[in-house]
Structure 1
Amino acid sequence: MTNNGITSAARLNRPLLQELLSAYGPVGQEDAVRDICRRELEPLVDEVWIDEAGNLVGLVRGTGEDDDLGPIRVMAHLDELSMLVKRVESDGSLHVTQLGTMYPGNFGLGPVAVLGNHQVIPGVLTLGSEHTTQESQRIWETKPDQGDKSLDWSHVYVFTGRTTEELTAAGVRPGTRVCVDGSKRLLFEVGKFLGCYFMDDRACLTAMLETARLLCEGERRPARDIYFVGTVSEEIGGIGGTYASRTLPGEITLALEVGPTEQEYSTSVTGGPIVGYSDQQSIYDKSVADRLMDIATELGFSPQAAVLGAFESDASHSVSAGQTARSGLLCLPTLSTHGYEVVAVDAIPAMSEVLLTFLLDTRIPGSRR
């Protein structure tokens, strides 16, 4: 074990993380991210498939040596926050709204990719000129020394430089997804930290895939079946995760997420893995949370217990909908969640180590429904 608590087997697959961050995966259009994860997962598991909801599922079969050890479902979501075209204006500009909970300030003004059905169109998310007076009411009211309103979706639009006919030919219409452009999706080093949009949940997908690799290449096979699930539509209510909890065997759903690091939760981006005990959607199973805390402590990671507000996950949605009996939440400590997110370089392999030990632990009972 190294000084930071990570065994020599665990690693951060940085090229994979960058590939996942660069892939567009708005809600309902997660194909590119799912394809990458399937490519990586397929050689590591016994079986892989895409379910009716669009979730990617990889099964690692357990030894079956203990009938009291039912399957565990591990979930990290494929989708990302994005924008949705509400209408196409006569000048070719696009009026957009949020797809998932976020605001224009979270993304910042700048380049976007408009995912037309036939062509990806470059665009610019813009407010307009700051050199305006009250006559330009939409802009004026956002000025801190004037109208003093916070920037919202009614204030911004997407400039495309295209005619409506060109946009129609590209397959752009109401319902088209608009994503932060790839030029703004490059990993940025800040000392021992990495920053980028959409660490939520691409960093957790990277950790989940690393855990699958460790299971595949390790000498121990889990006693129970493990389902690794890349879920869809988490950002709009845990839709894919709830479906997977209902249709896959087992009674425990464990979500991998980014975790907010703020004073109100006594969490820090420099600390160890965050273990959730509740969020605004539901409480998490105490025995599962306690075991995650114990494992992270035993590995030397100084875990952070948290009672979260304004937060939801695939696991809490699943348990609140009655589709799983028990739930757990393991988080990467993350600065500026749902914005330009920052995580420690060591945090992703640390999550993999905790998850691996949890999945191999025979002290976590669960029936085989």
Structure 2
Amino acid sequence: MAEERSTLRRELLQELLWAYGPGGQEESVRDICRRELEPCVDETWVDKAGNLVGFLRGSGSGSQEAKTYDDARGTRVLAHMDELSMIVKRVEPDGTLHVTPSGVMYPANFGLGPVAILGDNVTLTGVLSLGSEHTTKESLRIWQTKPDKGDKSLDWVHVFVFTGCTPEELAAAGVHPGTRVCVERSKRTLVDVGDYIGSYFMDDRASVTALLHAAQVLQSRSQRPSDDVYFVFTTNEEIGGVGASYASRTLPGDLTIALEVGPTEAEYDTTVGGGPIVAYSDSRCVYDKAVADRLMDIATELDLSPQAAVLGAFESDASHAKASGLSPRAGLLCVQTLSTHGYEVIPSSGIAALTDVVVEFLLNPA
């Protein structure tokens, strides 16, 4: 049974990884989440920010007829659907695209290679390109980045997207400034690395998978959480935590917990070979100590070897909500991840561990 659940989790994770979900255009990911979530909760809806919300009534909420959202105690558990991507800044006369990042990363994080251009009418395949390394100073844009000659780090001004199309063909496909460009599906297939798995966009598809699985586990048990639970699959986390802020403002409850990838670096004393990461602070907020302590205790009781961390250069849906005064309490639970915002690697058991901690916290938060 455990092996079957592991296989199903992996299949769902792969399906989510293959779905394109740039910020503001998360529909493909949301459709998969809704399909998986609806059988497990009492109600689902999509709010005005594009978040998918699943409501699970707590055992202390009373009957459905007596239930009103306004007077309910609730816990919001969030995982974001959007991914790091590129956005077209201009279409050049030769049909190439100049792109800028949507989210914080450099071209090297994605690597040169195939990309999906999400035109309004047609999705096209392009290639994120730099140009030939066999060049001299006459090709200054390339020369600047050569490790044996130049002194510039590869940045977005150096690369372009080759489309093989004319500007007219691109216009017919609905490609224009503002069109999203994503790492192509062929580069998003899970690979096994010993006891680990790797792919682009574990951030945040691994946590989305864990949150969906947590809803499934709770649905399979006769015991319900005492408080109402809102499973929220958020939009636009990578560009400001917009969806989470809206959900925290509009949904009941005073506690917001985000599920994320967590950096594994010596400065945080975290490793990818350790257990789930529980954050006590990040660059935007100090998380509530009682919440972090409880997450640590649960993971310890489950023999998961949790890692406490004070994170810098990191933000989450929960820290955006708390820093904006939209959630009085917040927590952050992360799957330990190598190379965040790059080609990300997590333990094969990482999603299951995150699920177990979430389920136990919702059933026994105190």
Q: How would you bin the TM-score normalised by the shorter chain?
A: over 0.9
Q: Secondary structure at the match of 1:330?
A: strand
Match of 2:256 in 1: 253
Relative distance call for 1:291 and 1:362 in structure 2 (3 A) is closer
From 118, 122, 127, the equivalent of 1:119 is: 122
Query: 5 Å matches for 1:221-240?
Result: 221-240=224-243
CA distance in 1, matches of 2:12, 2:105: 26
1:10 to partner: Cα distance: 6.5
Residue number among 74, 90, 93 corresponding to 1:90 in the alignment: 93
Structure 1 vs Structure 2 CA RMSD: 1.7
Mapped pair 1:171 → 2:167: no
Q: Among residues 314, 319, 325, which one is paired with 1:316 in the alignment?
A: 319
1:41 aligned to 2:37?
yes
Ranges in structure 2 where 5+ consecutive residues have no aligned partner: 63-70
Contact 2:321–2:327 at 8 Å: present in 1 too?
yes
Distance 1:70 1:302 in 2: 31
In 1, are the aligned partners of 2:72 and 2:253 still within 8 Å (CA)?
A: no
Would you say the 8 A contact 1:207–1:348 is kept in 2? yes
Task: Select which of 296, 300, 305 maps to 1:297.
Answer: 300
2:15 is matched with which residue? 19
Structure 1 residue 240 displacement after superposition: 0.3
Using the aligned pairs only, state the percent identity: 66
Q: What is the TM-score normalised by the length of structure 2? A: 0.95
Aligned residues: 358
Contact 1:223 1:362 in 2 (8 A): no
Paired with 1:22 and 1:11, the residues of 2 have a C-alpha distance of: 18
2:246 corresponds to which of 243, 248, 261: 243
Match of 2:49 in 1: 53
SS in 1 for 2:238: helix
1:10–1:210 contact (8 Å) kept in structure 2: no
CA shift, 1:58, in A, is: 0.1
Q: Which runs of 5 or more residues in structure 1 are unaligned?
A: 364-369
Match of 2:24 in 1: 28
SS in 2 for 1:74: strand
The answer to whether residue 216 in structure 2 is matched with residue 213 in structure 1 is: yes
Q: Which amino acid aligns with 1:297?
A: T
Structure 1 position 284 matched with structure 2 position 284: no
Paired letter, 1:241: A
The answer on 1:332 being equivalent to 2:335 is yes
Distance in 1 (CA, whole Å) between partners of 2:73 and 2:25 is 32
Q: Secondary structure at the match of 1:236?
A: coil
Q: CA deviation at 1:311?
A: 0.3
Which amino acid in 2 is paired with 1:79?
A: D
Contact 2:95 2:166 in 1 (8 A): yes
CA–CA distance in 2 between the matches of 1:362 and 1:154? 49
CA deviations over 1:248-291 (Å, ceiling 9, x no partner): 00000000000000000000001111000000011101100000
Q: Which residue of 2 aligns with 1:366?
A: none
| Per-residue deviation, 1:148 | 2.0
CA deviations on 1:201-255 (whole Å, 9 max, x unpaired) are 0000000000000000012111110000000000011110011001000000000
- Distance (whole Å) between structure 2 residues aligned to residue 26 and residue 65 of structure 1: 36
Q: Distance in 2 between matches of 1:202 and 1:137?
A: 39
- The residue number in structure 2 matching 1:354 is 357
* Structure 2 CA distance for partners of 1:79 and 1:319, relative to 1, 3 Å: same
Is the contact between residue 72 and residue 252 of structure 2 (CA under 8 Å) also seen in structure 1? no
Letter in 2 for 1:245: S
Q: Structure 1 residues 291, 9: closer, same or farther in 2, change over 3 A?
A: farther
Amino acid paired to 2:343: Y
- Between the aligned partners of 1:267 and 1:89, the Cα distance in structure 2 is 44
